[in-house]
Structure 1
Amino acid sequence: MDVTDSTFDYDDVLEEIVSHTKNKSHVDLHPQHCREAACVITVIFNVIIFLLGITGNGAVIWITGFKMKKSVNTTWYLSLALSDFIFCATLPFTIDNIVKKSWIFGLFMCKFTAFVMTLNMYSSIFILVIISVDRCITVKFPVWAQNQRTVQKASLVVVLAWFMSSLLSIPPAKFRDITNATTVICYNNFEGHHKTVVFIRFTFGFLIPFLTIFTCYSILIGKLRANQMSKSTKPYKIMTLLIVTFFICWLPFQIVSVLEVDRHGHEYDHVFHTALQVSATLACANSFLNPFLYAFMAKDLKKKCYSFLSKIESAIDEETRSAFRATSITNTMDNRLSTSV
């Protein structure tokens, strides 16, 4: 399901309700106010995600885009921050929808928010895959990486990743629709293509990226151990945290998404509805966590907590320098091995 299938506005639940209770009054479908505890908590979390996401990702964009020297690593992290920032910028529409239990922004924005939120999911995971492959190539083929890793090529790869993300985000937007009842609802009208949409999202948004990242990590760990570079694994902590956090945030959403396919035709289940809310909230929380992971990974966290922007810059800059060190060490060791042979 696209990121807005259950993202805070009860889209999947509303779709079930619309298909089974078309003739019921809008009062039955939508209480006039967000009164229940789950709804209030969801709104609060949305506001927090919006404020922290805009602030944190905005800081990363400013630092990596304007303050730091352009490099391959800053290109990756700038793209990741842009993806999260765009997603967070659409949250006010979702928050308004939760509070009012009604969509007032028209069909275009209904489709557009679905497109943007799905774009965030795909672009984030694709960039994390690119980072993993880049690290693997840097360690496995240090000489080639030193000659071929350029900012221009990295930028081209990012553009291709965003292009693929845009293509995969079209179907969720296409099947987005609104009702014409007294209370307008923005929901998913899959027209019999629900399983196809879920299959595509699970395959390209989770399964293939997971297998790719797992393979890269296996190769990376094997190479580091073979070269006795275990002490040089610290530069990969940021990458590891980003990837682990992404999968922790998105795995419950993907599981509920698959289970949701079989929910159509059944009566409304409050427990399942709660699962949709929780998994969607956790998935969207990933969009504001990345900048704080940069900061917390800085060496001097305990000593310089007051300098949040400096931490983000130092963490990313350390990642860049360490990548070059890892390349140099691997290259040196490979040369020694070839000489001894």
Structure 2
Amino acid sequence: MSVDYVEYEDYTPDNETEKNITRAGVHSSSSQTPLTVFLVTVNIIICVIGLGGNALVIWICGWKMKRTVVNTWYISLAISDLMFCAILPLEIYYMITSHWPFGLVLCKLTSSALSLNMYSSVFLLVLISTDRCIMVSFPVWSHNHRTVRKAFGFVILMWVLSGLLTLPSLIVRQTKVHGSVTLCYTDYMSPSRHREVALSRFICGFLFPILMIVFCSLVLCVKLKSLTMKSTKPYKVMAALIVSFFCCWVPYHTFILSELDLENITVEAVHTGLKVGATLAAANSFMSPLLYVFIGNDFKHTLKRSFSSRIEEAMAEDLRTVGYNHSRSKTMEIA
């Protein structure tokens, strides 16, 4: 998710690029502004909550709840978010120091993590929306053909597609040594490649998936009005996931597209907007566990049962230990 300081000027000639990197390095090394401190703090919170929350979702949905199609979607979503949060500490270090000591491979992998998380998350939301839409529209067919095995197959295809779409972001990331500082930046090489990567990221990772999700949501709304449902909680969770994704990613895509038209917006505005937008996009990775806890009844009840059973087991073990020690002391007194 790193916000590179030369992304919008990388396709200039070599000597000019060197000047840009120099200015970027000087600017970044001396720019521990209140905004940077705030964003670093927010990213640390995202990392901690995201790691714990998504690990909890994987544990609950994977081991404590019956394996279903819906759980398969949610486990996959949690894995995507967990992978991103696991690599986030490297980005936090880069935000603080403006120095990348981890090498080219990790520069490419960590900087592509946000794109991979974006694609996998939005494609999973498309799968969830489509699945719900089919369930309501074709209940008999869904009952006969909707299986966990098929859902797992769709998840595999989703990960392959997400990986392929992330390749451009992986390729353009480079490292460059400037004095004692190593920068991890984006080298688009030409304005046309910059435009292609930015537009493909927006169209494939946001516009088309959101249109599909909106269509499925409209169909669901129409169908649900004519049905008597025992519980609408699953649909509320789905709606909350979609809204949180939309709110978290709109600013990021707005400033990514703004990079393509620097004549009407300043470099400083784009730079600041990308930092804020990337942090807000990263926040989407810890929203799902919170939504499951506060909205999802099944997840909430299973979570309570899991913790209560663990506490009961611990208390029972303590009682057995106390009882054993007490009976042993009595035996020793009689002897």
- Normalising by the residue count of structure 2, what TM-score does the alignment of the two structures yield? 0.82
| Aligned residues of 2:60 and 2:302 also touching (Cα < 8 A) | no
Which residue does 1:72 correspond to in 2?
A: 69
Bigger mean CA offset, 112-121 vs 204-213: 112-121
Bigger mean CA offset, 112-121 vs 268-277: 268-277
Which residue does 1:310 correspond to in 2?
A: 304
Q: Residues 113-164 of structure 1, C-alpha deviation per residue, up to 9 Å, x if partnerless?
A: 1233211110000000000000000000000000111110000000000010
1:311–1:130 CA distance, 2 compared to 1 (3 A)? farther
* Residue correspondence of structure 1 range 247-266 to structure 2 within 5 A: 247-263=246-262
Which residue does 2:315 correspond to in 1?
A: none
Aligned equivalents of 1:51 and 1:68: distance in 2?
24
Which residue does 1:22 correspond to in 2?
A: 18
Which residue does 1:269 correspond to in 2?
A: 267
- Give the aligned residue type for 1:259: S
| Post-superposition offset of 1:38 | 1.1
| Post-superposition offset of 1:14 | 2.9
Which residue does 1:60 correspond to in 2?
A: 57
Larger radius of gyration: 2
| Aligned residues of 1:295 and 1:312 also touching (Cα < 8 A) | no
| Post-superposition offset of 1:26 | 6.8
Q: Which sections of structure 1, spanning at least 5 residues, go unmatched?
A: 314-341
* Residue correspondence of structure 1 range 1-341 to structure 2 within 5 A: 4=1, 7=2, 10-11=3-4, 13-16=5-8, 20=16, 22-23=18-19, 25=22, 29-30=26-27, 32=29, 35-182=32-179, 183-192=181-190, 193-225=193-225, 227-229=226-228, 232-263=231-262, 269-298=267-296, 309-310=303-304
| Aligned residues of 1:16 and 1:268 also touching (Cα < 8 A) | no
| Aligned residues of 1:33 and 1:101 also touching (Cα < 8 A) | no
- Give the aligned residue type for 1:203: I
Aligned equivalents of 1:138 and 1:232: distance in 2?
14
Bigger mean CA offset, 278-287 vs 78-87: 278-287
| Post-superposition offset of 1:277 | 1.3
| Aligned residues of 1:17 and 1:29 also touching (Cα < 8 A) | no
- Give the aligned residue type for 1:188: T
Aligned equivalents of 1:53 and 1:162: distance in 2?
20
Relative to total residues, which structure has the larger helix share, 1 or 2? 2
Aligned equivalents of 2:298 and 2:242: distance in 1?
23
Identical aligned pairs, as a percentage? 43
| Post-superposition offset of 1:29 | 2.1
- Normalising by the residue count of structure 1, what TM-score does the alignment of the two structures yield? 0.81
What's the secondary structure of 2:185's corresponding residue? strand
| Post-superposition offset of 1:261 | 1.5
Q: Residues 307-331 of structure 1, C-alpha deviation per residue, up to 9 Å, x if partnerless?
A: 9933999xxxxxxxxxxxxxxxxxx
1:232–1:27 CA distance, 2 compared to 1 (3 A)? closer
| Aligned residues of 1:17 and 1:268 also touching (Cα < 8 A) | no
Which residue does 1:326 correspond to in 2?
A: none
Q: Which sections of structure 2, spanning at least 5 residues, go unmatched?
A: 308-335
Matched pairs, number: 299
What's the secondary structure of 2:18's corresponding residue? coil
| Aligned residues of 1:298 and 1:312 also touching (Cα < 8 A) | no
